[in-house]
Amino acid sequence: MTGGANGWDPEVQELARRRTLAREMGGPEGIARQHANGKLTVRERIDLLADEGSFREFMGLVGHARYEGLELTGFTPRAAVEGFCRIDGRKVVVTGGDFTVRGGAGGSSGGGLGMEMAANRRALEWRVPYLRLLDAAGGSVRSFEEMGRTYLPDGNSFTAPDVQLLRTVPVVSAVLGSVAGLPAVNACMAHFNVMVKGTSQVFPGGPPVVKAAFGYDITKEELGGWEVHTKLSGVIDNLAESEEEAFAMARRFLSYLPSNVWETAPRILGEDPPGRADESLLAMIPRNRRRAYDGHKIVNAVVDAGSFFEIAPDYGRSRITGLARLNGYPVGVLANNILFGGSTGIAEGEKVIRLIQLCDTFHLPIISFADEPGFTVGLEAEKRGIERAGARLVIAVCQSQMPWATVVVGQLYGVAGQCHHRPSGMFRRYAWPSANWGSMHIQGGASAAYRREIESAPDPEAKRAEIEARLQAIASPFRTAEATGQDIIDPRETRALLCEFVEDAQSILRTQLGQTATPYTP
CA distance 167 to 423: 24
Closest CA to 94 of 49, 138, 40: 49
How many CB atoms neighbour CB 334 within 10 A?
25
Closest CA to 103 of 42, 167, 168: 42
Share the mean pLDDT of the chain.
Answer: 91
Closest CA to 299 of 272, 274, 326: 326
| H runs (alpha helix) in 196-345 | 207-214, 220-224, 226, 243-255, 295-302
CA distance 137 to 346: 31
Q: Quick check: 442 pLDDT over 50? A: yes
- Residue 161 makes CB contacts below 8 A (sequence gap 6+) with 118, 120, 121, 124
Q: Which long-range contacts (CB under 8 A, 24 or more apart) does 209-217 make?
A: 209/180
Q: What CATH superfamily classification does 279-432+489-511 receive?
A: 2-enoyl-CoA Hydratase; Chain A, domain 1 (3.90.226.10)
CA geometry: angle at 388 spanning 383 and 394, to 5°? 145
CA dist list (Å): 444 to 435, 449, 450: 19, 9, 10
Burial group, residue 227, by CB count within 10 angstroms (0-12, 13-18, 19+): middle
Question: pLDDT exceeding 70 applies to what percent of the chain?
Answer: 92
Instruction: Identify whether the C-beta of residue 158 lies closer than 8 Å to the C-beta of residue 201.
Output: no
CA distance 129 to 94: 9
Instruction: Identify whether the C-beta of residue 424 lies closer than 8 Å to the C-beta of residue 397.
Output: no
Number of C-alpha atoms within 13 angstroms, CB side, residue 272? 21
pLDDT digits (tens, 9 = 90+) for 175-230: 999 999 999 999 999 999 999 999 999 999 999 999 999 999 999 999 999 999 99
CATH 3.90.226.10 placement within the chain:
9-255, 279-432+489-511
Identify the bridge partners of residue 495 per DSSP, sorted by sequence position: none
CA distance 518 to 401: 10
Instruction: Identify whether the C-beta of residue 356 lies closer than 8 Å to the C-beta of residue 400.
Output: yes
pLDDT of residue 444: 61
| pLDDT band (50, 70, 90) for residue 1 | very low
| pLDDT band (50, 70, 90) for residue 139 | low
Who wins on pLDDT, 456 or 333? Answer: 333
pLDDT digits (tens, 9 = 90+) for 253-290: 999 999 999 999 999 999 999 999 999 999 999 998 88
The identity of residue 328, as a single letter, is G
pLDDT digits (tens, 9 = 90+) for 305-331: 999 999 999 999 999 999 999 999 999
| pLDDT band (50, 70, 90) for residue 48 | very high
The identity of residue 110, as a single letter, is G
pLDDT of residue 517: 87
What is the arithmetic mean of pLDDT over 394-417? Answer: 96
pLDDT digits (tens, 9 = 90+) for 372-401: 999 999 999 999 999 999 999 999 999 999
pLDDT of residue 473: 65
Q: Quick check: 466 pLDDT over 80? A: no
pLDDT digits (tens, 9 = 90+) for 53-108: 999 999 999 998 999 988 888 888 999 999 999 999 999 999 999 999 977 665 54
Q: Quick check: 111 pLDDT over 80? A: no
Instruction: Identify whether the C-beta of residue 370 lies closer than 8 Å to the C-beta of residue 413.
Output: no
DSSP string, 252-290: HHHHTS-SSTTSPPPP---S--TT---GGGGGSS-SSTT
> β-strands 90-97, 80-87: how paired?
antiparallel
Question: pLDDT exceeding 90 applies to what percent of the chain?
Answer: 78
Is it true that domain 9-255 has CATH number 1.10.10.10? no
Look up the pTM and report it.
Answer: 0.91
CA distance 504 to 274: 14
| pLDDT band (50, 70, 90) for residue 137 | confident
CA distance 309 to 311: 7
| pLDDT band (50, 70, 90) for residue 110 | low
Q: Quick check: 109 pLDDT over 60? A: no
Closest CA to 316 of 378, 231, 253: 231
What is the arithmetic mean of pLDDT over 402-426? Answer: 96
| pLDDT band (50, 70, 90) for residue 144 | low
Residues in the chain, overall count: 522
pLDDT digits (tens, 9 = 90+) for 337-346: 999 999 999 9
What is the arithmetic mean of pLDDT over 238-255? Answer: 98
pLDDT digits (tens, 9 = 90+) for 147-179: 678 767 777 878 999 999 999 999 999 999 999
Closest CA to 420 of 349, 480, 478: 349
pLDDT of residue 255: 98
Q: Quick check: 246 pLDDT over 50? A: yes
